[in-house]
Structure 1
Amino acid sequence: MRPVYIRMSAFGPYAGIQELNMEELGAGGLYLITGDTGAGKTTIFDAITFALYGEASGDSREAGMLRSKYADPSVPTEVELTFIYGGKTYSVCRNPEYERPAKRGTGMTMQKAEAELVYPDGRVVTKPKDVTAAVTEIMGVNREQFCQIAMIAQGKFRDLIEKGTTERQKIFREIFRTAPYQQVQDILKRKYRALERECETLRESVKQYIQGILWNKDASEETPVEEVMELLTEQNKADQEMQAGLFEEVQQKEQVLQKIRSELEQDRERKKRQKLYLELQDRRKAQREQIAELQQRYWEEQGKEPERRRLADEISRLESLMPQYLHLEELKKNERADQDEQEKLSGKQRQYEAKQEELKGKIQEGREAGESLADAPEKYQKLLYESEKHQQYMERLQNLAQDIQQYEKQRQSLALKQQEYRTVRDRVQKKESEYRVKNQAFLDEQAGILAQTLAEDQPCPVCGSMHHPAPAEQNPGAPSKEELERLQQELEQCRAEEAEASRTAGELLGNVRSREESIRKEAEELELAGSLEDMTYQLANQEKQGEEAGTRLQQELKLASEKVKQKDMWNRLLPEQEKALEKVTEELQQIRERQVALESKQKAAVEEIQRLTEVLPYPGQREAQEKQTELVQKQNVIKRQLEQAEKAVQTAEVEIAGTEGRLAELKQQLEEAVEADTEALQQKQMEIEAEKAVCEERGKELHHRIQNNQSVLKNLQNRSKELVEKEKQYAMVRSLAVTAMGNIPGKEKIMLETYVQMTYFDRIIARANTRLMVMTGGQYEMKRRRGSSNLRSQSGLELDVIDHYNGSERSIRTLSGGESFQASLSLALGLADEIQASAGGIRLDTMFVDEGFGSLDSESLEQAVQALAGLAESKRLVGIISHVDELKNRIDRQIVVKKERSGGSTAEIRGV
C-alpha cells in the first residue's frame, strides 16, 4: 500500500483544507516529516489510518476527538485518501461523528460518521463498518497490524531494551498478542487451586460422615475408609435381622391384647344394657300418663269447628270487595297527582310569563347597544397598528442600548487580551535570547570536546587537516544537551501561547469593529447622532418618552377592546334571545291547554269517589285489609291449635311404641350375656402391654441406627467415588499448571506465555541483527540469553549483546544512549518484517519512523540513515518524523509542518 493523495479537512491541528500530493515524493526512498513540536507531524499518519480503518493510530486519539478546535463551524471534518495497492488505485473518504451547525434553523446537530470506498472498477462501498471490512480484505491486515508495520514509534522498543523478563512479558503481550496464553496459565492455576480445595472439602466430608456412624461396638478412627464401609455393611445386616425378630414378637403380643380387650369390652356392654333397661321402664310409665293428657286436649280443639266456619265466610266476603277498594284508592291517588300537577303548571306559568317580559327587555337593549357600537372594530384596529409600531420602535431602542453595553464589555476584554499578548510576546523574546546564548555555548562546547580527541599527524574529522595549531577549549559553563532540549521545549511552548494570544486578540478586535459599525448604522435609522455617550443619553430620553406614550396607547387600546367585545357579545346574544322568546311563548300556550284538560278530569274523579265511599262498609282499602288480616290470624290460630294437638298425640304414641320395643330387645340380650372376671383380665392386659412397649422401644432404637447408618454408608460410597475422581483430575491439572507456570522443580522458570514469546522474539532478533550490524559497522549483534542465573526468578526473555570488536557478551542495558536507539530501531524494523511476513506475504510500500534520532552522533546517524535507506529500496517509501537539523540537511524530500499564528497548522512538500 502506497498513499498518492491525502486531503485533510478540519482534522486535528489542520483548521482548513490541507492537501498533500504524495506522488511528488516518488515511489521509493526516504523523506522527512519535520516541523514544530505539536504542529501535526504524526497527524499525517493518523489521517491515513483514520481514512483506512476509522480510528487514529494511537489509542489515546479517539475518532470523536479528531475535529479541529481551530476550524470554522461551517468547515466539515473529513479525510480523503487515494492509495495504490497491487498496482490498482483505490479512493476512500471518511468523516468522524461530530457536532456541526444545523442546516435548517439555528443551533447545532450531530453529524453521523460516514465512509465511502471506490474500487478501481468504479464499485462503491458505503457505511463505516463495511468500508473498514473491505479495506482489511484488500490489504490483508487490520488496524493493529497496519500500525505495527507502517509506524515505528521508538519509545516502546527502547523500553524493550531497558526492561527485564517480567516487564518484557507485558510489552510482548501487547506486541505479539499472547494474552490468550496468559489466560490459559491463569485458567490452569485457578482450576488447580479449585480442585485442591474440592479434594480437601471431600476429605473433610468423608471424615464427618464416619464420625456420624452409630456403632454397636467401639471403632478406631484410624480405620481406612474401605474397611469402615465393609464393617458398616455387616453391622447393618445384623441390625436388620434383629429388627425383624422384634417386629414378629410385637405382633404376637398384639394378638393376645386384642383378645383381652374384646372380652373386657363385651362385659362393659352387658353392664350398660342392664342400666339402660331400668331407665326405659321408668320412661314407659311417664309416657302412658302423658298420652292421656294429650288426647283430652285434642278432643277440646275438635269442638271449635263452628267458629272456624264463621271466620272463613267473613274472610271470603271481604276478599270479594277488594277490587272496588283498589279502584277507590286509584281514583284518590290520581286526584292528588292532578292537583300537584295543576299547582306546578301554575308556578311554571308565572315563571314563563316573567321570562317573556325579561327577554323582550333584553332584545330592546341589544338593538340599542348595537347601533351605538357600530364603529368600535375600526377604532380598535387603528389603535392596535399604532401600538405594534410603537412596540417595534421601543424594542429597537432597547436592542441598541444592549449593543452599546456589549460593545463596552468587548472593548474592555480587547484591552486585556492585547495586554496579555504583549506580555507573552516579551516572554518569547526573552526565551529566544536565552536559547540562542545557550545553544551557542553548547556548540562551542562540542567543538571543545572534539578538540580533546585531536592528535598531531592525525586527520581532523571535520576539516581533515593533519596539524592543529589552535584547538578549541572546553567551556565549563556550557549547558548539557538535556538542558538545551528543555529550553527549546519551553521556547516552543511560549511561541504556542503567543500564537494563541494573538489569535484571540485578533478575533476580539474584529468583533469590536463589527459591533461598532452595526451600532452606528442602527443609530442613524433611529435618528440618533453624536458619540456613544451622546447616543446613550438620547436613548434614555427616547425610552422614557416612549414608555409614557405606550402607556397612553395601552389604555386607549384596552377601552377600544372592551367596546369590540361588547359589540360581539350583543351580535351573538340578540338572535339567541329572539329565538328564546319564541320558545317561551310556545311553552306558555301549551301550559294553558294542559290546565283546562286537568280541570275537566278532576271533576269526574270527585263524583266517582263520592259514590264508592257511600257503598263500601269501610272507609278505605287499608281498613278493609287490616280487618281481613285480623280474621285470617284468628282462623290460623284455631287451625294450628288443632293440628298441634293431633300431632302431639301421634308423636306420643310412636315414642311409647319405640320404648316398649327397645325394652323387649334389651331383655333378650341380658338373658344371653355371660358375666366375666374383669380384674383378672385387666391385670393380664397390663403385663402384656409392658412387655410389648419394651420390644417397641428396642425396635425404634434399631430402626434409627439402621436408617442413620444406611444413609452414612450411601454418602460414604458416593463421596469416596467422587474423591477418587477429583484426585485424578487434581493430579492431571496440577501437572499442567506447574508446567504452564514454569514451576517444575530443578528446571528454569519459563511460563507458557514466555515460551511462545521466546519463539517470536528469536525470529525478530534474527531479522533485527541484519540492520544492527549495518548501523554499528559490524560491532554489535543481539542475542537472547540462554539459561538463568537462578531457578527462582522468571527467565527466558533476557536480551544480551555480542561485541564483535572484543569478543565479549554482556547485557544490552550496558549500551550507550545512541547505541540503545540503534538497537531499538533494529528491533522495531525486525518486528515490522516479521508481522509482514506472517501476514501471508502482505507488502506495504510505505513506512513511518517517529523520533529518536536526536541521541545519535554523526557517525551513528549516518549508519541509521543507511539502514533506513536499505528499507526504502525496492520502491518502499520511508517517512522519518523528526526535527533533528542534521536530517534536514541529509534528506532533501520533506513535508514541512508549520503552526499558524491565527491558529491551526499547514503542511507543504518541499525539495522535489
Structure 2
Amino acid sequence: MKPLNLVINAFGPFAGRQEVDFSTLDDLGLYLVAGDTGSGKTSIFDALVFALYGTVPGVRGNDLAGIRSHFADPGTTTKVTLEFVIGGDRWRVERMPTQERLKKKGEGTTKINAKATLEHWDGGAWDEVASGKNPVDKRVEELLGLDDKQFSQVVLLPQGGFQKVLLAKKEDREGLLRTLFASLGYKKAADYLKEEATRLRSEASTARAVREKAEASVAVQWADALQGLADLGEETDLVFTEWPVVLDENDEGSAMHDISGRMGHLEGAKNSIEKVLGLAEKKSETAEKAHRKLTTEAEKFTQKVELELKLAEFAASEENAKLDQKRHKEGVKAAPVVEALDELKLATQGLVSAQNANQTQEQTLVAVGLASKEVPKETKVAQGLSLTWARRQAECQTAAENLEAANDLRQNHEDLLGEVASGLEEAEDLEQGLKEAAAESKDLQKDLAAAEDARAGLVEMQKASQAAQEKFSDAGALLTAQGKVKKAEVFAVSAAKKLAKAQKSATQCQEQQRKNWAGHLAQEALVNGESCPVCGAEEHPSPAPLADGGADEALAKAESDQQSAATAQGAAQASLHAAQEFLVEAKKKVKTGNRELSEVVVELENSANEAQDLLNEVQELADGYQSLKVEADRAEASKRADEKKQTDVLAEAKNLQSSAKQKDTEATKMQKKVDDAVGPGADPAALTDQAAAIGEALSGLLDTLQAQQVAEGEQRVGQKTVDQALSASPFKNSDGARAAFVPGDKLAELGEALESRSRALALAEGQLAGLKGAPKDCPDIEAATVLLEQAREYVEGLQKAFTTVDERKRSFSQAVDSAKETAAQGAALQKEADLVERVDKTCRGTGAGSNRSLESWVLARFLKEVAVEASVRLRKMSSGQYGFVVRTTDDEGKADPLRMDIDDHYSGTTRQVSSLSGGEQFMASLSLALGLADTVQRRNGGLRIECLFVDEGFGSLDPATLDLAIDTLVGLRDEGRTVGLISHVEGVKGRIDLGLEVKKSDNQGSRIVVPKR
C-alpha cells in the first residue's frame, strides 16, 4: 500500500486546505517532517489514518468532535481525502466527521453527520465502491488487511516507545507494552470479568435471600389456608379432615414438603363445600317457586280492590260530567260567531286609523308648499299631480348639474393658466442648465483626452519601471554576493586553522600511543637474557616507562575531531567556491565603472523609485479612463435629454393655453342653459329640493288614500260575516253567543278531560272483568318470604366458603411456584457466578495452578514473535553482532516474562540493554519497531506498507550516534520504502532532505510548506 496524495481541510491545527503530494516524497526516499513542538507534524499522520479508518490514533482519538480545527472559518467543512495504490489499483477515500457548520441561509449552525465514500479509478473516471461510514470501514479493512490500530503500529514506527520498554523497570514494562501492542482489550476483558464475578456473587446472594423469603411466604400461605378451614368449621356446619401437625419445620413438616398432598387436602375441602352447596341451592329454588306463586295471588287481590274503588268514584261524578258535556257543545257553536265579531271590531278600528293618516298627509303637503286648494281627494288625481311634480324636479336637477359643470369649467380654465405659467418657468430653467452642461462636457472631454494619452504610453512606462527595478535588484544581488564571498573566505580560513590544529593534536596523540606501546612492550615483552625485539640487546638497563592511561581514548577523539574539521573545511571551500561563482555572475549584470558599488546601488534605487512613482501617476490616469468615458457619455446623454424636455415643455404650454380658452367658452354656454331653465339668479338646487319634498308628500298621500279605500272594504266584509255567523247559530244575537263562548285553550282542555274520563272508565270496567278468578281474601306471604331468605343466606354462606378456600388454595399454589422459580434462578446465578469467578481468577493469574495474567501471557507470546522479526533486523543493522533474547526470569530467578536482553554473538554472552551505546540502543529500539510492523503485516496476509513514519526519538543522541541512527534509516530507504522522519532536532535538519515543514501561527493555525527542489 502506497499513499499518493493527501488533502486536509479544517482538520486539527490546519485551518484551511492543505495538500501533501507523497509521489514527490517517494523520490527522496528518506525525508524530514520538520516543525516546532506543537505545530502539528504528527497531525499529518492522524489525517492519513482518519481518511482510511475514521479514527485518530492513541488518546488523540478519544474525542473525534475535537478534530475539527479551532482556527477554521465557521463555514468551512472539515474533511480529509486520500488517494493510494494497492497492488496496482488506485483508490480514493474521503471522510467528514460529525460537525457543526454555519447555515448557508439564515442564522445559526447546522449539524452535519459523518460521511464517507470510497472510489476506485477505472482508467477514465472515479467509480464509487462504498458509501457511508460502516461500509467504507469494512471495505478499507478488506483492502489493507489491517484495522486502524494495526495500521498505526505498521506505519508510525514507535521506536521511542520501545526504547522506553528496553530500559524500563520490571513493574513499568507491562504498561508500556500494552500501549505498543494495543493489548488494552485483554486488560479490559479481565477487569470486566472481575466486575462480572463481583456482580454475579452479589446477585446470587440476593437470590438466596429472595428464595428464603419466598419459602417463608409459602409457610404463611399454608398456615392461612388451614386457619381458614378452621374458621369455616366454626362459622358453618361443615366438617373438614384435619391436617397432621408437625412441630419440627426442618423435616417433612416444612411447607415446601409434600406439596401435592397439601394441594389435595385443600381440593378435598373445596369438594366437600361444593357437594353441600348443591343440595342447598335445590332447596333455595323450591322456596323461590312457592314465594313467586303466593306473590302473584296477592297482587291480583290488591288490583281487584283498587278497580272497584275507582268505579265507585266514576259513579259519584256522573252528573258533573253531563254538565261539562253541555257546556262543551255550546262553546263549540259560539266560537265562529265570536271570531267574526272580533274581526269586525278590528276592521272598524283600521278604517278610523286610515282616515286619520290621510288627514295628516294632506297637512304635510300644504306645509311643503302646495296650495290647500290643490290638495287631491281622490287617488287618480293624486297620481297625475305626482307625475307633474316629478318632471319639475328633474328639470331643476338638470339645471343644478349644468350650473355645477359651468363652475368646474371656470376652475379648469384657471388651473390651465397656472400650468402654462409653470411650464414657461421650467423651460427657462432648462435653458440655463443646458448652458452649464455644455461647459461641463467640454472639461470632461479634455480630461478624457489626457487619460487616453496615458493609456497609450502605459506599456512603455511599465517596461521602463521594470527595467529600473531589475537593475536595482541586480545591483543588490551583487552587493549580497560580495558579502557572501567575504563571509565564506573567513569561514574557509577558520576551518583551515581548525584542521591544522586537529591534525597537530592527532599527531601528538599518535606519538603518545607509540610511547604507550613501548611502555607495554617493556613491561610485558622484555626479559633479562632474552633479545630485545627492537635493539637485539639481551640486557635492558633502561626500559621505556609506562605512559599515562587514556591514550587510546584521546587518539580516537583527536581523529574524530580531525575528521570533523576536514569535513568542515571541505564544506567551507565548497561554500566559498559557490559564493565566488555567484559573484562572477552578478558582476556580469552590473556595470559600476570607476564608482563604488554602494553609490551605484543608491543611484539605481532612486531611479527605480522615480520610475515607479511616474508609473503610478500614469497608471492612475489610465485607470480613470473608463470612469471618465462613462461620465462624459452620461453628461452628453443628459444634455440631449434636457434639450428634448425643453422642447416638450414649450409645446405642452402652448397646448394648455388653447385648452384654457376652450374651457372658458364652454362655461359661458352652460350658464345660459341654467338661466333659461330656472330664470336668471334663481337657485336650481333649492327648487330641486322643494319639488322633491312635494313629490314625496304626494306619494305618501297616495298611500293613505289607498289604505283608506282598503279599510272601508274590510269593514263592509266583516259586518257581512257577522250577520251570516249569527244566522247559522242557535243564538238570537251577539250577546247570546258571547255568553256561551269558551276560550279556545279552555275548550280544548274541557274536551280532552271528557275524552280521558270515558277511556279510563272503559279500561277499569275491562280490567275488573278480567279478574274473575282473584281470591276473595289476601294470602299471607310473610312466612314464605322468611323461608326464602333463610335458604338464600345459607347458599351465599356456602358460596363464600367455597371462594375463600379456592382463593387460599391459589395463593398457596402461587407462593409455591414463586419459591420454586426463585430457587431455580438462584441456582443458575450461583452456577454462573462460580464459572465467571474461575475464569476471572485464571485471567488475573490468581487461580489454582496459574501465576500469570491473560494479558501478560499474550504480551509475552507476542513479544517473542516480535523479537524473532526484530532480531533479523538488528543482526543486519549490527553486522551480525546483536540479536534479542526474551527472558522469563530476572537475574535472581524471579518471574519476569516481559524482559528482553541482547544476545552478543561477538562475545558469546547475553547483555543487558543498558550496556549498549546510545546508537546501539537506537538500532535495538528501531529493530523492535520494525519487527512489530513486520509481525502485524505477516499476521494479516503479508500486505506491504511502503510508507513509514518515525516519530522523534533523536533529541538525546550525540552527533556520532545520530549518524548511526540516520544510516540505519537510510537502510530502510534502500529496502524500497519511503520513510518520513518526524523531528524538531536541529542536528537532523542538516543531514536529511527536508520533505515537509509545518509552520504555525498564534491565531491562524498551522500550514504545511513544501520546499522548492
Q: Does TM, scored on the shorter chain, surpass 0.5?
A: yes
Distance 1:863 1:4, change over 3 A: same
Deviation at 1:236, TM superposition (A): 1.8
Residue 935 of structure 2 corresponds to: 834
Deviation at 1:719, TM superposition (A): 3.6
1:394-417 deviation digits (Å, cap 9, x = unpaired)? xxxxxxxxxxxxxxxxxxxxxxxx
Say whether 1:875 aligns with 2:995.
Answer: no
Query: C-alpha separation between the residues in 2 aligned to 1:83 and 1:273?
Result: 109
1:430-483 deviation digits (Å, cap 9, x = unpaired)? xxxxxxxxxx9xxx9xx9xx9999524777112359xxxxxxxxxxxxxxxxxx
Query: C-alpha separation between the residues in 2 aligned to 1:815 and 1:333?
Result: 145
Equivalent position to 1:235, from 234, 257, 262:
262
Distance 1:453 1:231, change over 3 A: farther
Residue 855 of structure 1 corresponds to: 956
1:608-637 deviation digits (Å, cap 9, x = unpaired)? 23532652557999xx9x999998644775
Query: C-alpha separation between the residues in 2 aligned to 1:704 and 1:833?
Result: 76
Residue 317 of structure 2 corresponds to: 294
User: Is the contact made by 2:149 and 2:182 (CA closer than 8 Å) also made in structure 1?
Assistant: no
User: Is the contact made by 2:954 and 2:983 (CA closer than 8 Å) also made in structure 1?
Assistant: yes
Residue 205 of structure 1 corresponds to: 210
Distance 1:779 1:266, change over 3 A: same
Query: C-alpha separation between the residues in 1 aligned to 2:299 and 2:15?
Result: 124
Distance 1:189 1:144, change over 3 A: closer
Correspondences of 1:154-169 after superposition (within 5 Å): 154-161=159-166
Correspondences of 1:183-262 after superposition (within 5 Å): 184-185=189-190, 188-189=193-194, 192-213=197-218, 214-215=222-223, 216=243, 217-218=245-246, 220=248, 222-223=250-251, 229-252=256-279
Deviation at 1:231, TM superposition (A): 1.7
Distance 1:316 1:788, change over 3 A: farther
User: Is the contact made by 1:153 and 1:850 (CA closer than 8 Å) also made in structure 2?
Assistant: yes
User: Is the contact made by 1:114 and 1:127 (CA closer than 8 Å) also made in structure 2?
Assistant: no
Equivalent position to 1:151, from 138, 151, 156:
156
Residue 739 of structure 1 corresponds to: 842
SS for the counterpart of 1:842 is coil
Correspondences of 1:27-46 after superposition (within 5 Å): 30=30
Query: C-alpha separation between the residues in 2 aligned to 1:813 and 1:895?
Result: 34
Say whether 1:666 aligns with 2:775.
Answer: yes
Deviation at 1:845, TM superposition (A): 3.8
- Read off the aligned partner of 1:241 and give its amino acid letter: G
SS for the counterpart of 1:872 is helix
Say whether 1:311 aligns with 2:316.
Answer: no
Deviation at 1:762, TM superposition (A): 1.9
- Read off the aligned partner of 1:372 and give its amino acid letter: G
Equivalent position to 1:766, from 865, 868, 881:
868
User: Is the contact made by 1:153 and 1:851 (CA closer than 8 Å) also made in structure 2?
Assistant: no
Residue 815 of structure 2 corresponds to: 712
1:362-419 deviation digits (Å, cap 9, x = unpaired)? 7755664464356779979999x99xx9xxxxxxxxxxxxxxxxxxxxxxxxxxxxxx
Which moved further from structure 2: 165-174 or 190-199? 165-174
User: Is the contact made by 1:10 and 1:77 (CA closer than 8 Å) also made in structure 2?
Assistant: yes
1:572-620 deviation digits (Å, cap 9, x = unpaired)? xx9xxx9xxxxx99xx999899969946953761452353265255799
SS for the counterpart of 1:786 is strand
- Read off the aligned partner of 1:766 and give its amino acid letter: V
Residue 749 of structure 1 corresponds to: 852
Query: C-alpha separation between the residues in 2 aligned to 1:66 and 1:702?
Result: 74
Distance 1:262 1:892, change over 3 A: closer
User: Is the contact made by 2:33 and 2:998 (CA closer than 8 Å) also made in structure 1?
Assistant: no
Query: C-alpha separation between the residues in 1 aligned to 2:739 and 2:161?
Result: 122
- Read off the aligned partner of 1:715 and give its amino acid letter: S
Correspondences of 1:352-431 after superposition (within 5 Å): 365=411, 368-369=414-415, 371-372=417-418
1:668-726 deviation digits (Å, cap 9, x = unpaired)? 776xx9x99x79x989998x999989977876664443222222233334444444444
Deviation at 1:311, TM superposition (A): 0.9
User: Is the contact made by 1:33 and 1:897 (CA closer than 8 Å) also made in structure 2?
Assistant: yes
Correspondences of 1:1-150 after superposition (within 5 Å): 30=30, 121-124=123-126, 147-150=152-155
SS for the counterpart of 1:462 is helix
Deviation at 1:666, TM superposition (A): 2.6
1:118-142 deviation digits (Å, cap 9, x = unpaired)? 9594544689979998998877667
Residue 843 of structure 1 corresponds to: 944
Say whether 1:460 aligns with 2:555.
Answer: yes
Query: C-alpha separation between the residues in 2 aligned to 1:114 and 1:638?
Result: 99
Query: C-alpha separation between the residues in 1 aligned to 2:83 and 2:314?
Result: 132
Distance 1:715 1:361, change over 3 A: farther
RMSD over aligned CA atoms reads 7.4
Query: C-alpha separation between the residues in 1 aligned to 2:103 and 2:755?
Result: 109
SS for the counterpart of 1:853 is coil
Deviation at 1:755, TM superposition (A): 3.8
Query: C-alpha separation between the residues in 2 aligned to 1:335 and 1:328?
Result: 11
Residue 888 of structure 2 corresponds to: 786
SS for the counterpart of 1:849 is strand
Query: C-alpha separation between the residues in 2 aligned to 1:351 and 1:822?
Result: 125
User: Is the contact made by 1:9 and 1:79 (CA closer than 8 Å) also made in structure 2?
Assistant: yes
Query: C-alpha separation between the residues in 2 aligned to 1:701 and 1:790?
Result: 81
Distance 1:750 1:335, change over 3 A: farther
Distance 1:635 1:359, change over 3 A: same
Rg larger for = 2
Query: C-alpha separation between the residues in 2 aligned to 1:305 and 1:63?
Result: 103
Deviation at 1:38, TM superposition (A): 7.0
- Read off the aligned partner of 2:848 and give its amino acid letter: P
Distance 1:372 1:702, change over 3 A: same
- Read off the aligned partner of 1:769 and give its amino acid letter: S
Deviation at 1:828, TM superposition (A): 1.4
Distance 1:94 1:457, change over 3 A: closer
User: Is the contact made by 1:161 and 1:812 (CA closer than 8 Å) also made in structure 2?
Assistant: yes
Query: C-alpha separation between the residues in 2 aligned to 1:298 and 1:690?
Result: 56
- Read off the aligned partner of 2:776 and give its amino acid letter: K
Structure 2: 5+ residue stretches without partners:
105-109, 224-242, 369-388, 438-497, 513-546, 561-611, 625-655, 657-662, 668-683, 726-733
- Read off the aligned partner of 2:815 and give its amino acid letter: V
Query: C-alpha separation between the residues in 2 aligned to 1:355 and 1:866?
Result: 120
Distance 1:653 1:364, change over 3 A: same
Query: C-alpha separation between the residues in 2 aligned to 1:839 and 1:208?
Result: 56
Structure 1: 5+ residue stretches without partners:
104-108, 390-439, 466-512, 526-566, 568-573, 579-583
Correspondences of 1:609-648 after superposition (within 5 Å): 609=710, 611-612=712-713, 615-617=716-718, 633-634=742-743, 637=746, 641=750, 644=753, 648=757
SS for the counterpart of 1:460 is helix
How many pairs were matched up? 711
User: Is the contact made by 1:39 and 1:897 (CA closer than 8 Å) also made in structure 2?
Assistant: no
TM-score by length of 1: 0.55
1:492-516 deviation digits (Å, cap 9, x = unpaired)? xxxxxxxxxxxxxxxxxxxxx99xx
User: Is the contact made by 2:5 and 2:20 (CA closer than 8 Å) also made in structure 1?
Assistant: yes
Query: C-alpha separation between the residues in 1 aligned to 2:404 and 2:165?
Result: 109
Distance 1:803 1:715, change over 3 A: same
